[in-house]
Amino acid sequence: MKTEEFKLLFEAKSILEKNWREEYTIPSPKLYPHQWSWDSGFISIGYSHYDQDRAQKEILSMFEGQWANGMLPHIIFRGGKGYFPSAEYWQTELSEHSPEIKTSGITQPPVHALAALHVYKNSSDNEEAISFLKKIFPKILLFHRYLLTKRDPENSGMATIFHPWESGLDNSLRWDEPLARIKVEDLPQYKRVDTENVSSDQRPTDEDYDRYLYLIEVMKKNNYDEEKIYKVIPFKIKDITFNSILYAANQAMIKIAGILGQDSEEIDSWVKRTKINYFEYFCPDASENPLLYDYDLIGRKRIEKRTVASLTSLCTDLLSSKQAKALAAWMKHSHMCKEECAHEHPVITSISVDDIQFNPINYWRGPVWININWMLYEGMKNYGLFEDAKNLKKSIIDLITEHGFYEYYNPLTGEGLGADNFSWTAALLVDLISHRED
């Protein structure tokens, strides 16, 4: 290992140490002082290379907030202050399924089975790792069952999201049209906290926030009852990224079931349903168009926006070799990285840089995010695109080396944006450096 990599690893581990809170890790001290769902999944992958105890605790502690119906909330409120919407705002006690611990009332992409499998594979103590899998397997199974029943009344094998925050890509331009049809009514007064810590130029607009909170109000008025919400909520999307992750997570669950000697018949049935309907929902003719798009259930059409989400089917095994190569080629196209980007092999932007709405500093409307780039790196390896994966890995490491451990980055300059000392950036850097196979 090079001296530079040793220094980078030391810094990454130091950030994770500072953000560790006994049984879980906060994403960052100021902007995100609680525990976030998919953050914990990514963070555990980093820990798995050097601290198995923390890696396992990270995932298990997130499931302390799991609802009785299987829903895994995107936030567990664990004592930190200065965040909005707060636990009091969510009022999750309105649901008969909510736990005693305070949580949000929505979910996030289900990366946890993938993370658990990484933890298992990186463990040197097989007995301890299997014990961990035995604890987490039924919890993740219950979560996936919730997503593919309560969130999939169409029986499509794809879950429906009720809120942009459930996508993980909060203010992506993919949501502009679905959100535009929402007429905000009777919204309680509120005060944002995020723009006190980060410039408003880097965050969603106040108009966005009004709509985000209106959707929460709809859920609260219906006591977080999915059947009732499904009939009235004005935002219902089959999200390509969420469901690509869910499919890959179900494949991981089949592997975990095999390790544990558990029956996987139910999971197999979910995978089969997804295979049947995936391209029908997300791309009518995948052989001609390599990009896949979210499906708007209310608008009854695909949301044809060129964003990084259109590339995330690389995280599945559903593509042909030709389709995978076409998506990898698209990443190198000027749509996703201009010549003046920060590095020789630029990391992938969150939306097409030639889109009129491209904004290099605003959250999911242009900046580079490490977690999505890491997912694409993993996906390219799975399709045997090793040279492309190697180049992307180098670009990610170069970006962090030169500009620090930030939440997201300006793709034109490399400048770090959002929260500093960001945990999943540190954790995924640990993973990238720790793997020597490429």
Q: Which residues are catalytic?
A: 170, 407
Secondary structure in 3-state letters for 247-278: HHHHHHHHHHHHHHCCCCHHHHHHHHHHHHHH
- Dig out the tokens for 9 from the structure: 């690893």
CA dist 283 and 230 (Å) reads: 24
Selection from 277, 284, 318 nearest residue 301 by Cα: 284
CA angle 290, 379, 261 (to 5 degrees): 125
SS3 406: strand
Backbone angles phi, psi at 229, to 5 degrees: -60, -40
Q: For the chain, what is the largest distance between any 2 Cα atoms, rounded to a whole number of angstroms?
A: 58
DSSP alpha helix (H) spans, 48-125: 52-62, 87-90, 112-121
Q: Which residues make beta-bridge pairs with 402?
A: none
Contact 159, 106 (CB under 8 A): no
3-state secondary structure of 332: coil
Q: Helix, strand or coil for residue 181?
A: coil
Q: How far apart are CA 95 and CA 97, in angstroms?
A: 5
Neighbours of 335 (CB within 10 A): 16
CB 351 within 8 A of CB 308: yes
433 and 1 Cβ atoms separated by less than 8 Å: yes
CA dihedral sign, ordered 26, 28, 30, 31: negative
* Token couple for 199: 């410039």
| Phi, psi torsion values for 137, nearest 5 degrees | -55, -50
